[in-house]
């Protein structure tokens, strides 16, 4: 045995780290934060161990906890005090995300990103204005063009409150263009858009719907979120968002769609984000509770795989735990 090429030579301690191709850093991560206008105390999210809904008065404290781990950016999701058919609390000046954003930007150094969607704010749980027959016999469920104006209003209200980036997640055709136009017209041309450019109708969202109280009251979201079977369509979706002015391109979910992350990274010269969603988080916790895997090691390996696939940014519920170990 006289091999010239022996890859194991570079796997010894000391040199292994020097030749490592992919690395994670706290600044690669974005931590989701749930702010709840209906409570005066922190409420554990049962399906997402270690995470809580926090009242507005504790939003700053919660973000300070994130910053202490080295993570620099947060994504705010809101649970409003009331809901209606249009989701009007989503763009209210005194809305839960708007008020939390003002406090967090005034009192911390966090980079604040806000979710632009309606599902947490509508009494029907869908991501826009629904058609009249949606509950009984839906055709497209959400009226696309009627929803665009509302998304623009949400983004402007969040920018006025101090949001440093907005992130539309509704998969409404034309959403990036409508939001870009609304922001520019309101004097916020410097506020970037991180578009959920390829968001799939996934079974991995279940725990988030507990966390954000945003499950549909009827039907599902197949009429506006992408078919998990489709890969080439993702490139088309992303290209449309680029043409409309997106600054960062997100793929959601992450782990079951690493091929999409890779495709977007190769095709487009833009920062790529991936959302390591609630179901991905919850299943690792469940397996660890059974003693079937090491949670810390599995979480880090999962995020490394997302980064290796081509993501520059990772939105993940593991952000704080992994950042502490980096």
Q: So what's the pLDDT on residue 257? A: 98
Each residue of 104-145: pLDDT tens digit? 999 999 999 999 998 888 877 777 777 766 666 666 577 888
User: In sequence order, which residues have a C-beta less than 8 Å from that of residue 300 and are 6 or more positions away?
Assistant: 24, 322, 325
Name the catalytic one among 83, 143, 153, 199.
199
Q: Are 246 and 271 in contact (CB under 8 A)?
A: no
Each residue of 33-43: pLDDT tens digit? 999 999 999 99
Active site residue 252: yes
- Backbone dihedral angles phi then psi of residue 113, each to the nearest 5 degrees: -110, 140
CA-CA distance, 238 to 195, in Å (whole number)? 9
Q: Are 248 and 195 in contact (CB under 8 A)?
A: yes
Q: At what angle do helices 232-244 and 258-267 cross, to 10 degrees?
A: 50
Name residue, tokens 């949606």.
Answer: 134
Q: Give the pairing of strands 165-168 and 73-79.
A: unpaired
Q: So what's the pLDDT on residue 54? A: 96
User: In sequence order, which residues have a C-beta less than 8 Å from that of residue 290 and are 6 or more positions away?
Assistant: none
pTM, to two decimals: 0.92
Name the catalytic one among 83, 252, 290, 307.
252
């Amino acid at each position: 045995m006289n091999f010239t090429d022996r890859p194991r030579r570079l796997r010894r301690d000391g040199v292994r780290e020097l030749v490592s191709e992919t690395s994670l850093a706290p600044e690669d991560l974005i931590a989701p934060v749930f702010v709840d206008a209906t409570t005066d105390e922190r409420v554990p999210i049962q399906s997402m161990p270690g995470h809580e809904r926090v009242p507005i008065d504790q939003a700053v404290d919660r973000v300070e906890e994130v910053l202490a781990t080295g993570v620099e950016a947060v994504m705010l999701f809101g649970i409003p005090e009331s809901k209606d058919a249009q989701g009007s609390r989503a763009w209210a000046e005194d809305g839960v995300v708007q008020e939390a954003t003002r406090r967090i930007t005034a009192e911390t150094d966090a980079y604040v990103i806000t979710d632009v969607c309606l599902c947490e704010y509508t009494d029907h749980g869908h991501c826009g204005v629904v058609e009249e027959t949606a509950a009984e016999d839906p055709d497209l469920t959400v009226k696309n063009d009627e929803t665009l104006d509302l998304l623009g209003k949400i983004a402007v209200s969040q920018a006025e409150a101090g949001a440093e980036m907005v992130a539309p997640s509704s998969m409404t055709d034309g959403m990036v263009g409508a939001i870009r136009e609304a922001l520019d017209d309101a004097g916020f041309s410097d506020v970037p858009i991180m578009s959920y450019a390829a968001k799939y109708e996934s079974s991995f969202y279940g725990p988030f719907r507990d966390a954000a109280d945003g499950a549909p009251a009827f039907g599902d979201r197949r009429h506006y979120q992408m078919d998990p079977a489709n890969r080439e369509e993702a490139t088309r979706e992303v290209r449309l968002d680029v043409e409309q002015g997106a600054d960062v391109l997100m793929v959601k979910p992450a782990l079951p769609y690493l091929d999409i992350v890779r495709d977007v990274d190769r095709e487009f010269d833009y920062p790529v984000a991936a959302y390591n969603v609630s179901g991905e988080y919850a299943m690792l916790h469940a397996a660890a509770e059974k003693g079937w895997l090491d949670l810390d090691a599995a979480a880090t390996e999962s995020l490394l795989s997302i980064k290796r696939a081509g993501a520059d940014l990772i939105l993940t519920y593991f952000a704080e735990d992994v950042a502490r170990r980096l």
